[in-house]
Structure 1
Amino acid sequence: MALVEMELKKLIRQPANLFLNLLFPAVLTIVFIFAFADPELGMSLNSVVPGLIVYAVIFVIMTIAQSFSTERQEGLLKRLNTTPMTSGEFMGSQIITHMLISILQVIVVFTLAFILGFRPDSGIQGILLALPVTAIFSLSSVGLGLITATVSKTPEAATGISFVFILPQMFFGTFMPITSATQQIATFIPSYYLLDALKMIFEGDWMNTNIFLDLGVISIVSITIVLIGILLFEKYGSE
Structure 2
Amino acid sequence: MAQDQPILELRNVVSAYGRIQALKGISLKVYPGEIVTIIGANGAGKSTTLMTICNIVKAVQGDVMYKGERINGVNSDLLPAMGLCQVPEGRRIFPRLTVMENLDMGAFFRKDNAGIKDDIERVFDLFPKLRERRKQLGGTLSGGEQQMLAMARSLMSRPKVLLLDEPSMGLAPLLVQQIFNIVKMINEQGVTVVLVEQNANLALQCAQRGYVLETGNVVMEDEAGKLLENPDIRKAYLGE
**TMscore range, shorter length:** under 0.3
Query: When the two structures are superposed, what TM-score results if normalisation uses the length of structure 1?
Result: 0.26
Q: By percentage of residues, which structure has more strand?
A: 2
Q: By percentage of residues, which structure has more helix?
A: 1
Query: When the two structures are superposed, what TM-score results if normalisation uses the length of structure 2?
Result: 0.26
